[in-house]
Amino acid sequence: MTAVELKNVNKQFPGMSYKALDNVSVTIEEGEFITILGSSGCGKTTLIKTINRLYEPDSGDIFLYGKNIRDTNPVELRRSIGYVIQQIGLFPHMTVRDNIATIPKLLKWDKAKTDEQVDRLLSLVQLDPAEFRNRYPSQLSGGQQQRIGLARALIADPKVMLLDEPFGAIDAINREKLQNELKKIHAESHKTYLFVTHDIREAFKLGTKIIIMNQGKILQYATAQEIICKPADRFVKELIQTTTDVSKDYVSGGEGI
């Protein structure tokens, strides 16, 4: 089943010499963990932000489970999509519990259900509910904060998750842990993840399929192995070659297939 589809989407920001999204078309199946890879300015963040309508495309259509998102109220749309950002953005004046309960409050869940789900999600992101429930963001480490950020996005059980370089501000050790945990969470759900990153290793490690972008265009959309064995063009080829370890892990049929 097609979860997300972009058809001929264009987006240009004023003052830029090239388009942020240049006639982009892509189909993403349900259950995939898609990592979107590219350097700054390639359009990867713009792409996912058109899906939850934080950006409106200049032209083209976007479909969520077959429905054109233009026909859905943006606020409602966003409540059904999980959104995690690099700067995390936890609300400092709220407890961990209240932060996670943000969308439930918007959807007006009752307290019992909310509390139950909050605890469930805290456990899911490997944080002891009793210990963390009533803490404030300022009392948490960066890694812990982003786990809360994840919990906050996952709680309403959205079918699609948009993650914009979520581990970019986390230290290397915690990043590795979080990547592994995220992969596990994804595998156990049937959700579709779109994960933006500029880190090739992260992209190849996590993604069931990878979208490589440059200057608003999708250069290649394929599995890790396909990209390494049959790079679509010189740019992709050079990209792979910048990290030789990457090829080693994947050519021999490692993770991600």
Read off the tokens for 185: 């969470």
Q: Which is nearer to other proteins, 156 or 232 (CB)?
A: 156
Q: State how far the alpha carbon of 116 is from the alpha carbons of 97, 105, 225, in Å.
A: 11, 14, 41
Q: Which is nearer to other proteins, 164 or 202 (CB)?
A: 164
Q: Which is nearer to other proteins, 19 or 78 (CB)?
A: 78
Q: Which is nearer to other proteins, 153 or 170 (CB)?
A: 153
- Tell me how crowded residue 252 is: count the other CB atoms within 10 A of its CB: 8
Shortest distance (Å) from residue 139 CB to other proteins = 17
Q: Which is nearer to other proteins, 49 or 183 (CB)?
A: 49
What is the distance between the alpha carbons of residues 80 and 62, in angstroms, rounded to a whole number? 15
Report CA torsion sign: 222, 159, 165, 54: positive
Shortest distance (Å) from residue 109 CB to other proteins = 13
Closest by Cα among 58, 96, 62, 97 to 81? 62
Q: Which is nearer to other proteins, 26 or 77 (CB)?
A: 77
What is the distance between the alpha carbons of residues 160 and 82, in angstroms, rounded to a whole number? 6
- Contact positions vs other proteins (CB under 8 A): 52, 54, 75-80, 83, 85, 87-93, 102-103, 106, 149, 152-153, 162
Q: Decide: 197 and 166 in contact? Cβ < 8 Å.
A: no
The letter for the amino acid at 18 is Y
Q: State how far the alpha carbon of 3 is from the alpha carbons of 68, 111, 239, in Å.
A: 12, 31, 28
Shortest distance (Å) from residue 93 CB to other proteins = 5
Q: Which is nearer to other proteins, 150 or 246 (CB)?
A: 150
Shortest distance (Å) from residue 123 CB to other proteins = 21
Shortest distance (Å) from residue 146 CB to other proteins = 12
Shortest distance (Å) from residue 52 CB to other proteins = 6
Query: Which residue(s) pair with 36 in the sheet?
Result: 196, 211
Q: Is 204 left (phi over 0), alpha (psi -120 to 50) or beta?
A: alpha
